[in-house]
Amino acid sequence: MSLEKFISQAVSSWMSDDGPDSDIVLSSRIRFARNLDEYNFPTLFTNGEAEAVIGTIMERVSNTPIQNVGQLEMIKMDDIPPLQKRVLVEKHIISPNLAENSIHGACLLSENEEISIMINEEDHIRIQCLFPGFQLSEALKAANEIDDWLEEHVNYAFDEKFGYLTSCPTNVGTGLRASVMMHLPGLVLTQQMNRIVPAINQLGLVVRGIYGEGSEALGNIFQISNQITLGKSEEDIVEDLKSVVSQIISQERSAREALAKTSNIQLEDRVFRSYGTLANSRIIETKEAARCLSDLRLGIDMGYIKNISKSILNELMILTQPGFLQQYAGGPLRPDERDIRRAALIRERLKMESKEESGG
Amino acid sequence: MICQECNQRPATLHFTNFSNGEKTEMHLCERCAQEKGEMFMMNNGPGFAINSLLAGLLNMEPAFPEQKKEAYQAEQVLQCPQCSMTFPQFVKVGRFGCATCYDAFREQLTPIIRRLHSGNFIHNGKIPKRIGGDLHLRKTIDDLKLSLKNLILQEEFEKAAETRDQIRELERKLTAGQEGGE
Ligand SMILES: [Zn+2]
Ligand SMILES: [Zn+2]
């Protein structure tokens, strides 16, 4: 398969489309956890109950389409090979838990991959809306529409006092997890994250890296999400997150301005060195690739580099993960082979940019 | 010992994890442990099992010594009639077996839920349209009753009378709905 075709098939709209403030907020996500009241939770349910849950939801989906969403495709975990599951995880469409541990797990996916409904994960139903850029309210609206549509025919487990009942007590109430993925190279380079993270935590929000392990955030990409799900309305949870995110956006912007003012040439040097590495290396590890991609994206945002699309960071952070590399290679790869493939894929992807430039 | 995550607060929770024959230890403050729990839940990270983390959180209730005593006594018998999960089982796995568990463990649960949700224990968000039924109505009535109280305090008797009539009207609706519905 050609790289162009592979990428066009692999890329979801949240990775490629522009959204508001997408120079800093890469994507916005809303997740609702829901359960059906007539079956045990996935913690304890039987195979038969798991199948019944899928059946109930399938019936709902095949009978009446949701407005503004179009066709939803059902992907059953039992029917697809492990590599394909891994790719879905790397695209943030399903959770590792659904891929690896679920009984009769499944996912309903919209064509543009903005909407996915996980079935039989930790809860019977997990509605997820993933939008490009800073669009939390829009994503909340979309998730509410799907939730209402499902609820017309499905009995949710709901308690007057505790709200929507979930397998885990940390999700009870609204069942809402709202999150944004932010690219914050300015705050990292100016060493402000150590100060900002505890401040964000104080406000009841959780900050973590999405790529990489432990506290490191590969590619300077951070996820910020609400921690508590009970006692506040969905709108308030989203508004509180939005106001913090807006503050972080403006701090990141000032950090970038300060960098441009105080160390313009050093920053430009860093950006172009990273560009050189990405365009020329023959072996590249995840960590180095992530660092260079972050630099490149910063260079694009700050105008040092022209004619390369901004979506390159999103795309390549996803496409250079092990699952995707192996899917592109058409088979399993050892880690050292992946590093070679990764370098090749990045080089080719950058060549596509210059082709587009000379062609158009 | 200081928390290894934030390096600020004292570590009150200690976790040991064995994976692939390797022993790892984690010393965390309550806040960081809670966040870690959250993180593992979303990540399903292979290292520290969320279950043991959450179990640590659920077991640790220095802020509610009396409830703890009560919970301990109740633990011996408390069991969900629907799915048969017992309260100690819930504490161990950190997951409910079914929706009825919430009802079965309601009393013991409230302090745990408060702890996990910054003191909150009452849902204040969306109500499902269909099964929510008169819950919407009852919420409106509660709100009106509250404003009635305020109106009386402010000696706005004319408005208070209006509100009282409104409440009566809604309460009639509520009873009518219940009689008609069941
Ligand atoms: Zn700590
Ligand atoms: Zn139960």
Q: What is the DSSP string of A223-281?
A: EEEE---SSS-HHHHHHHHHHHHHHHHHHHHHHHHHHHHHSHHHHHHHHHHHHHHHHH-
pLDDT in tens, B125-148: 999 987 766 777 777 888 888 888
pLDDT for position A340: 96
Q: Which residues does A222 contact at the CB level (< 8 Å), separation at least 6?
A: A181, A182, A184, A207, A208, A209, A210
Taking the C-alpha atoms of residue A245 and residue A181, their distance in angstroms, rounded to an integer, is 10
Cross-chain Cβ contact A173/B117 below 8 Å: yes
**CA–CA separation, A279 and A293 (whole Å):** 11
Average pLDDT over residues B95-116: 94
Nearest to A78 by CA among A112, A119, A114: A119
Neighbour tally for B169: CB within 10 Å: 11
Inform me whether the C-beta atom of residue B141 falls under 8 Å from chain A C-beta atoms.
no
- pTM here is 0.79
Of all helices (H) and strands (E), which one includes residue A193? helix A193-202
pLDDT at B153: 87
Instruction: Say whether pLDDT at B14 is over 80.
Output: no
Q: Is the pLDDT score of B160 beyond 80?
A: yes
pLDDT at A101 (0 to 100) = 87
DSSP secondary structure of A127-164: EEEEEESS-HHHHHHHHHHHHHHHHTTS-B-EETTTEE
Answer for the pair A24, A253: CB distance below 8 angstroms, yes or no. Answer: yes
* A195 φ/ψ sector (left φ>0, alpha ψ -120 to 50, else beta): alpha
A226 CB within 8 Å of a chain B CB: no
Contact list in A for residue B48 (CB cut-off 8 A) is none
B17, containing H or E segment: strand B13-19
The angle formed by the CA atoms of residues A249, A250 and A252, to the nearest 5 degrees, is 65
pLDDT of the residue at B48: 39
The pLDDT profile of chain A, 360 residues, written as one tens digit per residue, is 677 777 777 777 777 778 899 999 999 999 999 999 999 999 899 999 999 999 998 887 777 777 777 788 899 999 999 888 998 998 889 999 999 888 999 999 988 889 999 999 999 999 999 999 999 999 999 999 999 989 988 899 999 899 999 999 999 999 999 999 999 999 999 999 989 999 999 999 999 888 766 667 899 999 999 999 999 999 999 999 999 999 999 999 999 999 999 989 999 999 999 999 999 999 999 999 999 999 999 999 999 999 898 888 888 988 999 889 998 888 899 999 999 999 999 999 999 887 665 544
Which pLDDT value is given to residue B116?
A: 92
Q: A103 vs chain B: nearest CA distance in angstroms?
A: 15
| Cβ-defined contact of B95 to A198 (cutoff 8 Å) | no
Q: Provide the chain B residues 32-91 that lie in CB contact (below 8 A) with chain A.
A: 34-35, 37-39, 41-44, 54, 82-83, 85
Residue B5's pLDDT band (cuts 50, 70, 90)? confident
Distance in Å, alpha carbon of A84 to nearest chain B alpha carbon: 18
Residue A196 to residue A158: CA distance in whole angstroms: 37
Evaluate whether ipTM surpasses 0.90.
Answer: no
**Closest CA–CA distance from residue A211 to any residue of chain B (Å):** 11
User: pLDDT tens digit string along B17-69?
Assistant: 544 455 567 777 777 776 665 443 333 333 334 444 555 555 544 334 444 44
